[in-house]
Structures are given as C-alpha cells and as structure tokens.
Chains A and B, each alone.
Chain A
Amino acid sequence: MKRSRNVVLVLSGALASGTLAGCNAPSDPEVWQRIDPNGTYTNNYYVSGAGYYHAGYHGWYPYPCNYFDPNRGYYHGGTWSSTPEPETVNASRPTVSAAREATARAGAVRSGLISRGGFGSSARHAGS
C-alpha cells in the first residue's frame, strides 16, 4: 500500500468552488491615505496599516468582513461569529473616531518606514 488513505481539503477545495467569501485583495496596499470621515467607503476597502473597512460597522478592522477561519468562524465588526454578516450595507461613512484611529494606524506604518514590493520583480511562473 503506497497511497494516501484519505485526502481531505479544508481550505483549497472551498476556495476553488468559490465559497470563501470576503477575502478580497487589498484595494490599495501601498498608498498611505488620510481617511476622510466625510467620505464614503465600500465594504472591505483596504488601507495599508489600518485594515479593511466594514461598512456595517463604520470602521477598519484587521481582517476582511466575513473572512472565514475554519477554527474561529466568520469575522465582522471586530469579532468572530458562527454566521457571516449578511452584507446588507455595501458602503458607508466611517465614524469620526474610526477615521481618526485608522489614519493614525496607517500613518504609523508609513512613518515606520515599511517598504513593499522588494520581492516579486522577477515575476513569472515561479514553479518548476
């Protein structure tokens, strides 16, 4: 006997069939922005250092809205839940305090001299 007895996929099968919702690519990972409390931001709008905007909660969080972790469940509004947020709010304005806090976090990352893009410039298919 030289074969696997049981092949189970937890993450990759789910992603291939499109059931891992809420893991959008960052909207703009490189640009540091001052966040406008009067601006309207779409759900999961990404700001480097601040995180992902959760429109239903008017603030930025470290994981995308409805990011799914098999151990913890769905993430929204800063907590993990067994059910996803229905995403009835597609866009909203952040609260003043959330905008201020997110701007500060983004600025902190920027002033910490974090640079990106230093790998990947040879980008081709990298497997062999």
Chain B
Amino acid sequence: MQRHTFSPRPNWKELVEQVGLTFHSPPSGVYWDESAYYELTAKEVDELEAGANTLHQLCIEAAQKVVDNGWWNRLGIPEAAVSSILRSWNEDDFSLYGRFDLAYDGKGPPKLLEYNADTPTALIEAAVAQWFWLQSSFSGLDQFNSIHERLIAAWKQLGSGRIYFSSIREFAEDEQTALYLQDTCHQAGLETTQIFIEDIGWDAQRERFVDLDGVQIERCFKLYPWEWMWHEQFAQYLSQAAVRWIEPAWKMLLSNKGLLPILWELFPGHPNLLPCFDSPAPLAGTFVRKPKLSREGSNITVVEGGRTVESTGGEYGEEGFVYQAVAPCEEFAGNHPVLGVWIIAHEAAGVGIREDTSRITGNQSRFVPHLFYPR
C-alpha cells in the first residue's frame, strides 16, 4: 500500500459535480481530494475483501449472541425497539448496505475500527466519483469497486413495487446519497419516490405511515439513524406500522460500537479484531474511548500512557463508551488513512479511503481515490 501525489484534473470540481458529488468542498477546505491517491496491490485488495467478509459474518454471529442473551442494555438499545429488532431479525429483513471502517497499512491484517451498518455515507465518492476518476486518470488500471452494480443487483432482490427514499432536508450529502441510491433502485426496475423524513405522515385512522398524498408507505429506505427514530415523536408507531425499513431494525445490533467488546469476547485474538472492552482497565492506559453510538468521529478520545493526546467534541456518549486498543498502523506522508470497505447485500463490494492528519477520522477528513495494478 502506497500513497502517491498526483495532479488533480483541471476541471475536477465540474467532473465530480456531474456525477452527484456536489459536496466536494466544505467551508473548512477540500473533502474530495484527488491531489493524491492510494495504490494497493491485488493481494492487499484480496486481504481487504476477505477481511470484510469475515468481519461481517463475525458481526452476524455476535448479533445472534445479543439476541439470544437479551444484551440490549450492553448496546444501549431502548426497550421499545426490541420487538421490532427481533421481528426483523427473525424474518431476515432485507439489508442493502453497510461500511466497515478498517485500520490497514498493508503490513498486517485489516483491523475493525467500527461498522457503519445503518446509515453509511461517503458512498457516491466510493461508488461513482473515484470510478470516473480512474477512467480519466488511469484507465488501464483496476479498482476495488463493484459497488454500483452490486447495489443494482441487490435492489432486484426486492422484485417490484415502490420504494420511498428518505433523508433529512437541507443536508446536501444526505440528499445526494439518498438520490444516488434511488437511482440504483430505479435502474433495478423498481418504482421510486423521494420524501423527506420530516414529511412522512402518520395516519391515525388507518394506523399507517403515509406520504404527502396520504398514500401508504410500505417500503422505505431511510438515511436516518434508528437510534434517533426511537427517540422521536413517531417512535410510538414504529412497532405497529407495517413498513419495511431499509436498513432494517436489526441493523441496530451491528451499527453500534457496543458490539466491539462482544466481538472480542466471542473471538479473542482474531486477526481482524482489536482488543476492546467495556472498561479501560485491561488496556493499561493506552486506548481509544468511543461512544457506543456516535457519528463522524464525534466524542472520541485517544489516551496514551494514561494521558489524553487527542479528543473530539460532540453530543454523544449518553449510552456509554467502549475502550478499544490503538490500531498499530503506519502513517502515509503524515496522514492516517481509514479504509471503508462496503458491504452490499452481505458481501464486500469495494473500498473508499479517507485520510486525516489527525488519528481520528471525522467529517472533515478527506476522501482520496485508490487504484491497484491487476494481476
């Protein structure tokens, strides 16, 4: 694994906007950064793919353990959510996607940092923008990226009918991500309708969620976290309404850093896992403290030798924290890359790399494209 500097395409902003990446340059700087790229080897791509597939299976096994033992408190899951989780788990409700964040430098096996299994973003960048970057910059080379066609294939599993696509208003990244997924669903041959999450209605007479025209919503992709939904006004209807949500409620078991200590308990010493515990004691003063439920690197603290060396603010941590060993990874020209391996319909489908000079990957971290030389 190597990092190379490279000349950005002169009209790169226009090019990435044309494929839906309109949020490439936030006020804080550049988010889409093609002034560099990562080169992987075919063997490293195999290792990432196999590691992600293995981790997904481990997570499913760990989730089953949570269900069997009723460890809802360990994950900070509200009691009201349990029946919906169990129903969706037992009926194996359709899951479209998720993204593992892995620590990896090519020197050792990829290590799980967390699983964004409910509302992962950085999807347009990974599936589309970096694919077009490869075509225009290194057209003969390859990329670990079959995300787009896997998404279309996954939607086809749902047959026919209408899927609603929902995100919050006025967040370009979320709107564009939901729109991109709507695009792939449309290409799979299903009917699609956009609705903002705030516009979803509850019809008390018919006891169903409805769209702006009062039509029943039966299947809805939501780019909105389950843990928020369960604390909002309409939470009271979630268990009784017959909506099939995408992602399903059972993904609350995976998209939760409370699962990390459980994974380590079940599979101690596994090469794709970092030691992780419910308390800092076993880690001898050097660890990363993470909220069980948080987003975009918020409320993370890096402690070395008992001393806090980096931390981020935020509003998370109410459900408690986990304590994870520090991943032993090399820097690349002063940057710390995190490899986001996409799982589509339960299989690894591609990678997007974000990097930061901080060891904590947050919403300001840059997305850098990648390639590899085919065998």
- The chain A residues found within 8 Å of chain B, CB to CB, are 1-13, 15-17, 25-26, 29, 48-49, 51, 62, 70, 108-109, 112-128
Q: Which residues of A contact B374 (CB under 8 A)?
A: 1
How many Å from the CB of B181 to the closest CB on chain A?
A: 9
Does B105 count as interface, using CB distance less than 8 angstroms?
Answer: no
Tell me the bound Cα distance from A115 to B145 in angstroms. Answer: 42
Tell me the bound Cα distance from A47 to B233 in angstroms. Answer: 24
Tell me the bound Cα distance from A7 to B150 in angstroms. Answer: 11
Given A124-B295, A125-B173, A128-B116, 12 more A-B residue pairs with CB atoms under 8 Å apart are A3-B143, A7-B127, A11-B182, A12-B183, A15-B179, A48-B212, A112-B205, A113-B204, A116-B202, A122-B228, A123-B169, A127-B173
8 Å CB contact of B231 from A1, A10, A122: A122
Q: Which residues of A contact B142 (CB under 8 A)?
A: 1-3
8 Å CB contact of B121 from A121, A124, A128: A128
- The chain B residues found within 8 Å of chain A, CB to CB, are 17-22, 45, 49, 116, 118-122, 124, 127-128, 131-132, 134, 142-149, 167-169, 171, 173-174, 176-177, 179-180, 182-183, 186-187, 192, 196-206, 210, 212-214, 223-225, 228-229, 231-234, 237, 255, 295-296, 350, 363, 372, 374
8 Å CB contact of A3 from B124, B144, B167, B255: B144
Known contacts A109-B214, A119-B234, A122-B231: does B20 contact A128 (CB below 8 Å)?
A: no
Tell me the bound Cα distance from A92 to B148 in angstroms. Answer: 44
How many Å from the CB of B204 to the closest CB on chain A?
A: 4
How many Å from the CB of A60 to the closest CB on chain B?
A: 11
Dominant SS among interface residues on chain B: mixed
B187 nearest in chain A by CB position: A10
How many Å from the CB of A40 to the closest CB on chain B?
A: 23
Tell me the bound Cα distance from A120 to B196 in angstroms. Answer: 9
8 Å CB contact of A119 from B144, B148, B198, B214: B198
* Complex contact B174–A127 (CB within 8 A): yes
Closest 5 CB pairs of A and B: A127-B121, A118-B234, A120-B198, A122-B228, A118-B233
Q: Which residues of B contact A70 (CB under 8 A)?
A: 186
Q: Which residues of B contact A49 (CB under 8 A)?
A: 213-214
Q: Which residues of B contact A12 (CB under 8 A)?
A: 19-20, 124, 176, 179-180, 182-183
B315 nearest in chain A by CB position: A124
